[in-house]
Structure formats: structure tokens, C-alpha cells
Chains A and B, each alone.
Chain A
Amino acid sequence: MPNKIPNRQAICDVLMRAAESDRDVVVLCSDSRGSASLTPFFERFPQQSVEVGIAEQDLVGIAAGLASCGKKAWAASPASFVSTRSYEQAKVDCAYSRTNVKLIGISGGVSYGQLGMSHHSAQDIAAMSAIPGMRVYLPSDRFQTARLVEALLADDKPAYIRVGRNPVEDIYADDDCPFQMDRATWLRRGSDVAIVATGEMVRPSLEASRELEAQGISATVLDMYCVKPLDVEAVVEAASAARCVLSVEEHSPYGGLGSQVAQVVGERCPRPVRCLSLPDEPVVTGTSPQIFAHYGLDAGGIAAAARDLLARAGE
């Protein structure tokens, strides 16, 4: 039975549980409560909900002001807008001023695949990662999303969390979701290729590793939900045990997970690296699965890229 619960709903569930006993948990939306699955929160906790209208700069500035007065401010807006329209507020009001604001980028990547580049966020990892003091997380399924939100509720530093719009197949289970804050989750350990993936690319990477296994290729799969701070030691360990490294992300080829993984591998354990990503151009119109398949970001494409990389690494 396919999972029908999107990661955004997992965020709402955890925030509602927290708000029951903590009136400082505050959620802000920019006419985005429905798309963020936060309507239940607004209905259950109207005194802890803030609607700012379609105004992302105001959204993040107000969140920072609330946080400076002790609130745990969670501001949700489409990733395409909150990572760009309010980028300066994220930089100055959140990161530079060290306020406890958690920015939730909903419908991230190409979730709105049919709506054009204005609604895609293929630059958010690069943009947010470049801000000193800003952390960047892309959870891979609903269970990990819940663990991440629980962990973030316990700290007082800013962070950016990107989730997609649609439900994604489970990787973990409620009673089997190994999670350590800022540490990648090892899904498989292998000796030929180390696949480092984030967000919605983790599941097809795991499927690719099974396909590769059937072909006699041993793959590591790292769920790098913490793009910043990157789990450097996990990357080094995975890369050192393999002949080559493949990064997979729903992002621009520049400044995302691949760039960071390549930096680490190049510096600490040099070996061939290939970065699978969206192209440096407006992506083709389509649903997320169609777009992923088109650019080789599905299980088959990832496995093919791994075989190609291994062939080159072996030369």
C-alpha cells in the first residue's frame, strides 16, 4: 500500500504535539497553510498561528522578531519563494541575528513540475548553505521528517528544511528510523560505489543499489538529510571504502550536495565523483516522476550512472 502521507504533514503532526505543551511554538504562513498541510495547526492553535498574507519578506522578518522574544518560530512557504524572495531576511534577521527561526520550504525542488521555473527551487540548497549560521536539511521520508522536526524543536538556532509536495515511499518505519542529528543515515554499505543522496533522491538511490546488487555491484547508500552541516566523516568513510562516489540531488548542478561531497572527497580521499542533479536550465514540464526519469534521477538512471562511473573508474 503506497504511503499517502506527505512529509509536510509529518511536520504539522510533530508541531501540533509540541504546541500542546509549549505555547512558544508558533507557526507562520504566507497564504500557504493549506499547501503546507498546516491548516490543522491553525485551527487547533489560533493563538500560536500567524498569517501574513502573500509576503515572504514580512513572513521571515516577523518570525525573527517573534523568535527574538522567545518564540520558536516555524515559517512555512513554498521553497521557491522562501529561499529567494526572503533570502536577505534569512541571512540578516535569522542567521546573522541568531534567531530561532525554522524556515520550512514546502513543495521543494520540482514538486510543482508543471508550473514552470518560477515555482521550482533548484537553487535553495546552494543559497541557504552559503549563509553562515544557516543549516540545511532535506529529510527523505515522513518518519525521518518527524525525527528531524523533533530534534530541531530542541535547539534554538535557525535552519532551513526542504520537503516535497507529494507523498514519498517510506524508507524507514515508525519503530525503525535510526536518526542522529547531523549524522547521515547508512542505508547500505558497499565497496564499489558510494551513493550519497538527499531528500526525495534517497528512495530511488536505495532502489538503484538493489538493482546494482543484482548485477554484482556493491553500493553504499548514505541518506544525507543534513546537507549543512554535511556529515563529512560519513562521506569520507563511504568514499574511502569504495572506488567512486555518486551524489544524487533534486537541485541545480551548482552549490548543492554534489559540490559539497566533491569538495570533501577531493580533499580527503580523492577518487572519481559524479554529481547527478537537475540541469542548469529551466527543467522540462512534467510531474516530478516524469522530470526525474527524464534527467536520470530515477532508480534506473542512478544505477546506469553508477555503472558508467565504475567503468570509468576502472580504466
Chain B
Amino acid sequence: MRQNTPTLEDLDLLRWDLRQDCVDIIMAGGGGHIGGDMSMMDALMVLYLRHLRVSPETVDDPNRDRFVLSKGHAMEAYYAVLCHQGFLDLADVKARFQQFGSPYIGHPNNKLPGIEMNSGSLGHGLPVAVGMALAGKMDGRDYRVYTIMGDGELAEGSVWEGAMSGSSFALDNLCAFVDRNRLQISGCTEDVLRLDSQEERWAAFGWNVLSIDGHDLAAIDAAITLAAETKGKPTCIILNTVKGYGSPVMEGKAPWHHQLPNAQEYAQISADFVARKEAALHA
């Protein structure tokens, strides 16, 4: 873990502010993938604020940790975190997200500081992360590589090619998250194409597997630490999450994969974030 990191108590409050930023970005741009943003946000926040060794000053440092957003459509959550960490300016992102000629597109754009690779098409992040981790091993660098995949994304065969190579190359500097929110555009993942059991599948592919509550900040934090301590194999952290986490308006509802809140829904979602932050403050 890095020095001078925020506490988990700090993050228990911050996560609601970041969600509000994320929703505001979506509203400003007139669209986004809000459900997956909300399910992934807690893990992304804990990773960036407590573990990932990269800052706006070190985006070109060969020893920096790498992060690849494989579920690239959850870009708005990524913008919120990148802005909070000082890579990007929140006001500028909100002003220009998805506008004509803007660099702030709906998927990762590696012309922006802090973004390593372009993505958007699913199933790309893990093989790319394998390559990054392999380069670290070749060069004897101690950086770590992280990627976050969606669960619907796991139907892509290239994910499993990457899974095979990750364990075959014994990449213990590699950590993959699966945002297991169990919903994709067409509905429940198990109705679209059966994905259970992810724990057994990743273990069978030779990975260290940690399956946790993806909204339990302490569990996320401990899992990332444990992954870094695990030698000889890569780690897959399965984040059991709720799509749209943070407001009953969206939670567990497939249409909120990319639904845009109307004014009333926006007000309710924002109020729910405030209420949850208040509850955390007084817990």
C-alpha cells in the first residue's frame, strides 16, 4: 500500500461523491453506462486511491503500475476517478463529454493522461494486461498490472486465451477483477449465457481466486493486498456487485445498463447518494 493514502472511512464517504460526479458526467454528455459504472466504482476507487502507484506526475514512469479498463463502457466511473486523482479536470470533462470533437469519448482514449490503452470492444483488456505484466517480468520491474472486466464480457473467447497465458506465464504481478453484477443488456447473465461458476472457472485456469462483496471496501482492499502477496500465479478478484449500486432507482435493473435518468430520477438518485453518505458519516 502507498503512503499517505486515504482511510477506508474516508472512502466510505468519497464513494458517494464519486458516484455523483459520474452521474453528472453522464447527464452532461447525454448518455453513459450508468449501471456498470455504479457496480465497478467501489473497486476502482479503492484500487486508485489506496494501491495503484501512478499519479499525473508519473504517467510516463516505466515503473508505474498499469491499469486497463477492459469493460471500457464504464468510462464515466473512470473519468470520475481520474478527475479526483488529478489526471483530468472534472469541469472540463463535464463540459465536453461526448461533445463534437471532444477527447472525452464514451470509452477509454489513451491520448488522455493516465489512460494506458484504448478499449471498448470487449475481451481485449486481459491479453493486453498479460503483455504489460510480461514486459514487467522481462525487465525485472516491480510494477503491478490491473484490469477490470465485466461479467457479460466473459463470453468473449479472448478472455480465456488471456486467462490461459496469464497463468501459463506465472504472472503474479497481474490482477484481474471481474465485476460480477449478474446483469447485461439483455437481462440476467445466467439467462443470456451461463457464466457460473466464475470461481471454479478461474481456478481451473490456474489463477488464484478471491471472491468478495464488491461493495465492501475493506474486503476489496484486503483482496488487492492479498493478490500482491500471492506468488507464482495471477489473481482474479471476483467482485460480487449490484448493477446500479447506490440508488434503488437503478439497482438490479437491466435497463439501467445504459439508461439516462430523467429529471425526477436524477433528483432521486442524487438524494439517495446523499442519504447513503449521511448514513456512512453517522455509522
Asked whether any CB of chain A lies closer than 8 Å to the CB of B198, the reply is no
Task: Say yes or no: B158 contacts A57, CB within 8 Å.
Answer: yes
Q: Using Cβ atoms and an 8 Å threshold, which residues of chain A touch B165?
A: 52-53, 55, 58, 62
Question: Taking chain B's interface residues, is the majority helix, strand, or loop, or is none over half, making it mixed?
Answer: helix
Chain B's nearest CB lies how many Å from the CB of A22? 13
Q: Are B164 and A65 in contact (CB under 8 A)?
A: no
Total A-B residue contacts, Cβ distance less than 8 Å: 103
Contact of B128 among A47, A65, A71 (CB under 8 A): A65
Instruction: Say whether B132 faces chain A, with CB atoms less than 8 Å apart.
Output: yes
* Assembled-state Cα–Cα distance A57/B135 (Å): 18
Find chain A residues with CB under 8 A from B267 CB.
Answer: none
Nearest Cβ on chain A to B139's Cβ, whole angstroms: 8
What is the total number of residues of chain B having a CB less than 8 Å from a CB of chain A? 31
Question: Contacts A92-B120, A97-B110 given: A69-B135 contact, CB under 8 Å?
Answer: yes
Asked if A63 is at the interface of the complex by the 8 Å CB criterion, the answer is yes
Question: When chains A and B are docked, how far (Å) is the Cα of A99 from the Cα of B132?
Answer: 12
Nearest residue in A to B141 (C-beta to C-beta)?
A: A69
How many angstroms between the C-alpha atoms of A65 and B157 in the bound complex? 18
A66 contact from B119, B126, B132, B161, Cβ within 8 A: B132
Q: How far is the CB of B188 from chain A (nearest CB, A)?
A: 27
Let me know if A93 and B157 touch, CB within 8 A. Answer: no
Chain A positions within 8 Å of B, measured between CB atoms, are 23, 26, 47-48, 50, 52-53, 55, 57-58, 60-71, 73, 88-89, 92-93, 96-99
- B109-143: which residues lie under 8 A (CB-CB) from chain A? 110, 116-121, 123-124, 126-136, 138-139
Known: A57-B161, A97-B118. A69 touches B136 (CB 8 A): yes
**Are the C-beta atoms of B130 and A93 separated by less than 8 Å?**
no
Question: Which 4 pairs from chain A and chain B are nearest by CB?
Answer: A65-B131, A61-B127, A69-B135, A58-B161
- A58, B130: Cβ atoms under 8 Å? yes
**Nearest chain A residue, comparing its CB with the CB of B115:** A97
**Chain B residue at smallest Cβ distance from A98:** B110
